Amino acid sequence: MNPKRVAIVGASGYSGEELVRLLLSHPGVQLAAVTSRQYAGQTLAQVFPKFAHHPRARKLCFSEPKAELLAQEAQVVFLALPHGVAAEFAVPLLQLGCRVIDLSADFRLKSPGVYKDFYAREHPAPALLAQAVYGLPEVYRDQIKSASLIACPGCYPTSILLPCIPLLRAGLVRPAGIIADSLSGVSGAGRKAEPDYLFVECNESVRPYGLPKHRHLAEVEQELSLAAGTQVTLQFTPHLVPVSRGILTTLYLAPNARFDRPGDLGEFGKKVAACYLAAYRDEPFVRVLEGQNLPDTKNVVGTNVLELAWRLDPRTGRLIVMSAEDNLLKGASGQAVQSLNLICDLPEITGLV
Ligand SMILES: NC(=O)c1ccc[n+]([C@@H]2O[C@H](COP(=O)([O-])OP(=O)(O)OC[C@H]3O[C@@H](n4cnc5c(N)ncnc54)[C@H](OP(=O)(O)O)[C@@H]3O)[C@@H](O)[C@H]2O)c1
């Protein structure tokens, strides 16, 4: 069988570069086209010397992003573009018969009204929202397989949803009053020159931002509400930390249980352990930590794995769940390649381990 031909629009950005790395050595597909306006005409090897050992990187040139040309070159197109721009490419690419894996926020929300509320603009292609599948394989694996438009989750949302969804589905935690604190490396902001993200501004600095209504809240609340069967409203504080990549999230959850008698806490803990075991025992990219270990970005950066651990606090009665992931892999490009493997009917781990 001929390998599927794939293209990356926005291949010069951080998540695009990670897609290039993964797809150059992916055994089931051929990287057929990469776009960048600023580097059009230069080879991948010229722009990213770290790929120069790969023969294809010495041949394949960046091109101007044009949907008609991309559709001639590739059957599956990744969009690693800013939101708003991604929809401009998704519409013609789908019309031309491509399958589209979008890393932006353009198709993650089901409601154009919520999109307008959080992104301060009318949705550019509301007719496509119903057909888009949220690209979280651990939750939507079957739908992704046959989807023509996949909306990959955001980096923070992945770090919140994978820990919370099994607990909410099982009714083990209350949907109300969930609090999430996240710490993100600077690559989360993309490869753009903005004063806030200059080395001198970020180094030796830790700061919150995007309060109280970070854009990612919209998709997190959408997906948590589906899991809980009732509207979930989340308190979320993201922080920028001086590392290149990685996200660490801490969640504060209220158990749906009373701890009146000795032993109640232990019984509840057993239910949490069983819930995570059932959800993630067979998942190749979710690692539930045991024993004393706690999530640490250094264990997951460079991998497509999200690791998580939980603790019950007997003094406050809260369940604390922590997760760590690489924002550019499980939070973006690695997760997108999981979806690629699903639509190509390949083992989900292909090219990712
Ligand atoms: N960074 C993360 O951790 C992360 C995680 C999850 C999801 N995402 C999402 O993934 C998308 C890409 O993020 P990123 O961090 O990789 O961004 P980035 O580093 O800023 O890269 C953006 C890419 O888009 C291209 N581009 C920008 N404007 C364009 C336009 N008008 N037409 C055509 N190409 C254009 C740029 O290349 P040229 O300027 O050379 O054309 C570049 O290749 C965003 O929607 C982001 O929210 C990012």
How far does the centroid of ligand 1 lie from the alpha carbon of residue 106, in Å?
13
Which amino acid would we find at residue 351?
A: G
Backbone conformation region of residue 230, classed left if phi is above 0, alpha if psi is from -120 to 50, else beta: beta
Contacts of residue 170, Cβ cutoff 8 Å, sequence gap at least 6 = 271, 275
CA distance 208 to 312: 26
- Judge contact between 101 and 94, C-beta under 8 A: no
Please tell me the predicted confidence (pLDDT) of residue 327.
98
- Judge contact between 238 and 217, C-beta under 8 A: no
Peptide bond into 242 cis (omega under 30): no
CA distance 110 to 75: 25
How far does the centroid of ligand 1 lie from the alpha carbon of residue 321, in Å?
30
DSSP state of 329: I
Query: Which one of 19, 35, 81 would you pick to mutate in the ligand 1 pocket, going by the greatest count of ligand atoms within 8 A of its CB?
Result: 81
Ligand 1, atom nearest to 103 Cα: 10
> Scanning the structure block, which residue is given the tokens 């306006």?
37
Please tell me the predicted confidence (pLDDT) of residue 28.
96
Contacts of residue 171, Cβ cutoff 8 Å, sequence gap at least 6 = 256
Question: pLDDT tens digits for the chain (353 residues)?
Answer: 578 999 999 999 999 999 999 999 999 999 999 999 999 999 999 999 999 999 999 999 999 999 999 999 999 999 999 999 999 999 999 999 999 999 999 999 999 999 999 999 999 999 999 999 999 999 999 999 999 999 999 999 999 999 999 999 999 999 999 999 999 999 999 998 899 999 999 999 999 999 999 999 999 999 999 999 999 999 999 999 999 999 999 999 999 999 999 999 999 999 999 999 999 999 999 999 999 999 999 999 999 999 999 999 999 999 999 999 999 999 999 999 999 999 999 999 999 99
The string over 178-195, giving b where at least 16 C-beta atoms fall within 10 Å of a residue's C-beta and e elsewhere, is: bebbbbbbbbbbeeeeee
Burial of 91 from C-beta contacts in 10 A (0-12 / 13-18 / 19+):
middle
Classify strands 179-184 and 149-151 as parallel, antiparallel or unpaired: unpaired
CA distance 177 to 10: 38
**Whole-prediction pTM:** 0.97
- Judge contact between 252 and 179, C-beta under 8 A: yes
How far does the centroid of ligand 1 lie from the alpha carbon of residue 187, in Å?
11
User: Which spans in the chain are helix H?
Assistant: 14-24, 44-47, 55-59, 67-73, 85-95, 112-119, 137-145, 155-169, 199-202, 216-228, 264-280, 334-343
How far does the centroid of ligand 1 lie from the alpha carbon of residue 97, in Å?
23
CA distance 126 to 220: 19
Please tell me the predicted confidence (pLDDT) of residue 1.
59
Contacts of residue 121, Cβ cutoff 8 Å, sequence gap at least 6 = 84, 115
DSSP state of 206: -
Ligand 1, atom nearest to 81 Cα: 24
Please tell me the predicted confidence (pLDDT) of residue 277.
98
Please tell me the predicted confidence (pLDDT) of residue 121.
95
CA distance 136 to 51: 28
CA distance 6 to 25: 13
CA distance 286 to 15: 20
- Judge contact between 295 and 301, C-beta under 8 A: no
* CB-defined site of ligand 1, < 6 Å: 10-16, 36-39, 65, 80-83, 85, 103-104, 154-155, 187-188, 190-192, 327-328, 331-332
> Terminus-to-terminus CA distance in the chain, angstroms?
23
Q: Which residue minimizes the CA distance to atom 2 of ligand 1?
A: 188
